[in-house]
Chain A
Amino acid sequence: MVHFQGDSCPIQLTGCPGHFPRKLTVVNDRGRLSAPGRLSGRVDADSGTGTATVDRPEENHLVPPGSLRDLALRHGLLEAAVRPPLRSYAQELWKRRYFISGFATARNVAMYTEARLGQLWQVLTPLLNAGVYYLIFGLLLNTNRGVPDYISFLVTGVFVFNFTQRAFITSSQVIRDTLPLIRALYFPRACLPLGYVLIELQQLILSFAVLFIIVVIAGEYPTPYWVFIIPVLILQSIFNVGCGLILARWGASFDDVSQLLPFIVRTWMYTSGVIFSLQALTLTFAGKLHDHPALAYLLQINPAAVYITLVRWALLEKYRDALPGAKPYNHTNCVLYRTLPGKYPRYSAYCHPSALPSIPSLWVWAAVWAVIVVVVGFVFFWRAEARYGRG
C-alpha cells in the first residue's frame, strides 16, 4: 500500500523548489487558527529531504502554489452547484424519461398501500367529493337551475378539476418528499414534478373510465365528440406540468405555500364553474355576474374553466346542445331561459351573449395557457436548479 505519493509536491524542496517560498506566503494568508505557532511543519516522510520547521498555524499540504481559482478555471472546472444551460438541461431531462415514468408508476403503487381499499381511493375520493357537492349545491341550494343533467355536469367538472388540483398540491411537496434522493444522486430535478404530474395522469385515466360509466347511466351515449376529450386532456396535462414546476419551486423554499394552497385552490374551484355553470350565471339573474360581462368573460377563459368546459362540451351531448349560441338566436326562448332557467334549462342555446367565449376560442385558450405556463414553469424551475435539496 502506497500512502506517500507526494504527487502534488506541496513542500518538497527538491521536487518543486521554485514554488516553496510562494507556497509559504499563501499558507500564511490563509492560516487563522486561534493558537498560532503551536504546531510544527513537517516534510513528507518518504521524500527524505530533512525537516523544515515552519512556524505557521495550519499545516495544509493539499494547496498547490498559485491562485486556486486560476487552477480550477484552467482545467475547466465549474462552480459546484451551478445550473446547467437550459438546452443541455432539457436534453438531460429527456434522457431521464424512463426514470420519470418509473418514478410515477412506483409512487402510484406505493401511495395507497396502507389503505384497505387501496387504489380504489383514486376514484372514491373525487366521487365522494362530487357526492358532497351534489348534496349541498344540487339538493340543498338548488344550484342546478339552468343546467340540463346536473349530475353529469357536476361529476365531469369535479373529475377534471381534481386532475389539476391534485397536480398542484402534490407538486408543492415533491422536493420535500424526495430530499434523500435529491441529496444522494445527481439528476435534473425537474424529473420529480414531472413524475408527480404523470402520477395524476395515470390516476385520471382510471377516473375517466368511471366517469364514462356514470354519464352513460345518467343518460348520455358515446358520440364521436368523445374523441375530443383526448386533446383537451393532453393540453391540460401540459398546463399541469407547468403549474407543477412552478409550485415545486415555491414549495421547496417556503413551507407556507402548502399551508396556503388549499385555500387558493378552493377559491379557484368556485370561480371556474365546477359546481355551477358560469354560462348560466352570466345569462340569468341569479347572481351579480350578468352585470359584469368583462368579469364573466375573464372567469370563463381562466385555464381551469377552459379545460372543464371543453371536456363537458366533448363528453355531454345535452350540455353541448344547450350551450349559448348552439341554436339560431330566438328572443322569446332566450328571455324564457333568462327568467325561468329551472324550467327551460335547454333554452340557453337560443341566447347569443357577447360575454361568452365560443368553443373555437376556448380551444385557442386551452393551447395558449398550456404553452405559456409550461414554458414559464420550466424556466422558473430551472433557474433554481442548484438550490433544491439545500438547507
Chain B
Amino acid sequence: MADDRPMVVVDDLHVVYRVYGSSADKGTAATALLRLLKRQRRPSIREVHAIRGISFVAYRGDAVGVIGRNGSGKSTLLRAVAGLLPAEKGMVYTDGHGALLGVNAALLEDLTGERNVVLGCLAMGMTTQETREAKPRIVDFSGVGDFINLPMKAYSTGMGSRLRFAIASAKSHDILLVDEALATGDAEFQRKSHDRIDELRQQAGTVFLVAHQLSEIYETCNRVIWLEKGQIVKAGNDVPGILDDYLEASGSERRFRELAETAAPAGD
C-alpha cells in the first residue's frame, strides 16, 4: 500500500505552548494597569514544552497510529502536522494540506447537518455538481438519519463526529488527521470508518490516527508512534510489538503479538 514518496517529514520538532494568566496574576483591572505601566508583556506566561524533539517520516499510503498517555503530546503533534501550531524549533514538511478531525462535534454548529454537508464539500473545493452527488452518500455514511435537518448543536457527540468524519472523508485528502474522532462512534461506524481510511490510503493519502482504543490502531495502522512526555519512546512498523510494549509499560497484558500471529495465516 505504501510507496517510497514521503508525505510528512517531521524534523526534530519542538512545540512550546505559552499559557497566559497563571495563578500569580489575580486578573483584576489594577494588576492589568500595573502590567502596562511596568511594560510587562502578558500576565505571567508559563511555558509548556509539549513536543521535545520528534522526528519521523510518513509515506504515501501510510496509516500512522499515535499512542501515549494523556498529555503525552499526541494531539499537539497532530495539530503541528496540520499546520495549526507553530514550531518552536525544527520543522514539519508536508506534501499538501492536512484535514484535522478532532473531538469537538460540529463544523458550524448553528447550521443544520445538511447545510454543514454542503458547505463542507464546497469548502474542500468540490463543485456544486460534485457536492450534489456526494451529499446522499455522506448523509448515508454518517447514519444520522432524520437529524440531518436539525442544527448540529442538537447532535450528540457521537452523531456530530460521525457527520464530520463523513464530510471530511468524502474527498480524498493528502493528509487526514483523526484525533479520537472515531472513538465516539458505535461498532458499526468504527468498521465503516476503518474501511474508509483504508480507501483513503489506497488513494495515496496519509492517515494519522490518535486513539486510546489500541485495537483501533491495531486494525487500521501500519506504523505506530508511542509518545511519552513529548518524546518518542518507540516508533516503527512493528505495530503489534509496540502496542504490546505500551500495554506492558502501562501495566496490562501483552496481547497484540499473539493476535497477529493467530490472525496472520487466515488473513493472508
Which positions in A face B, CB cutoff 8 Å?
Answer: 1-8, 10, 30, 32-33, 39, 42, 44-45, 58-64, 68-69, 71-73, 75-82, 92, 95-96, 98-99, 102-103, 106-107, 110, 113, 178, 180-181, 183-187, 191, 386-387, 389-390
Contacts and interface: CB of A to CB of B under 8 A. Distances in A.
Interface string B223-240: 101001001111111111
A30 B82 contact: no
A190 to B, nearest CB: 12
A66 to B, nearest CB: 10
Given A60-B232, A81-B86, A99-B123, A184 B222 contact: no
Contacts of A81: 83-84, 86, 92
Interface stretch (B22-30, B56-64, B134-142): B56-64
Contacts of A6: 237
Contact of B231 (A32, A103, A113): A32
Contacts of A79: 91-94
B238 to A, nearest CB: 6
B53 interface: yes
19 contacts: A1-B263, A30-B12, A33-B228, A42-B238, A59-B235, A62-B235, A69-B91, A69-B93, A72-B11, A72-B91, A76-B95, A106-B108, A110-B111, A110-B151, A181-B107, A186-B98, A186-B124, A386-B83, A390-B84
Contacts of A82: 83
Contacts of B86: 81, 387, 390
B93 A184 contact: no
B99 A58 contact: no
A390 B15 CA distance: 13
Interface in B101-121: 101-102, 104, 106-111, 115, 118-120
A79 B94 CA distance: 6
B11 A180 contact: no
Contacts of A2: 222, 267-268
A349 to B, nearest CB: 51
Nearest to A33: B231
A381 B197 CA distance: 34
Nearest to B249: A39
A1 B268 CA distance: 6
Nearest to B90: A68
A30 B80 CA distance: 19
Q: Chain B contact residues: over half helix, strand or loop, or mixed?
A: mixed
A81 B175 CA distance: 13
A59 B226 CA distance: 10
Nearest to A105: B115
Given A5-B2, A106-B119, A110-B111, A39 B234 contact: yes
A68 B95 contact: no
Contact of B99 (A75, A77, A103, A185): A185
Contact of B85 (A76, A102, A390): A390
Interface in B251-268: 260, 263-264, 267-268
A186 B82 CA distance: 9
A328 B112 CA distance: 61
B182 interface: no
Contact of A178 (B81, B108, B151): B108
B191 interface: no
Interface in B138-195: 151, 164, 168
Contact of B6 (A32, A42, A71, A96): A71
B11 to A, nearest CB: 4
Nearest to A191: B123
A318 B53 CA distance: 73
Contact of A3 (B95, B119, B239): B239
Given A3-B239, A68-B9, A110-B151, A63 B231 contact: no
A186 B97 contact: yes
A118 B132 CA distance: 29
Contacts of A92: 125
B235 A102 contact: no
B183 to A, nearest CB: 16
Given A7-B2, A62-B57, A184-B102, A98 B127 contact: yes
B100 interface: yes
B11 A4 contact: no
A181 B231 contact: no
Contacts of B92: 79-81
A96 B125 contact: yes
Question: Which of B5, B106, B231: most chain A Cβ within 10 A?
Answer: B231
A8 B125 contact: no
B52 interface: yes
Given A5-B2, A78-B94, A180 B123 contact: no
Contact of B107 (A80, A180, A387): A180
A330 B140 CA distance: 77
B123 A187 contact: yes
Contact of A184 (B5, B81, B85, B107): B107
A77 B235 contact: no
Contacts of B133: none
B241 A185 contact: no
Interface in B193-244: 219, 222-223, 225, 228, 231-241
Contact of A187 (B125, B228, B268): B125
Contacts of B124: 185-187
Question: Which of A42, A61, A99, A185: most chain B Cβ within 10 A?
Answer: A185
A102 B118 contact: yes
B80 A80 contact: yes
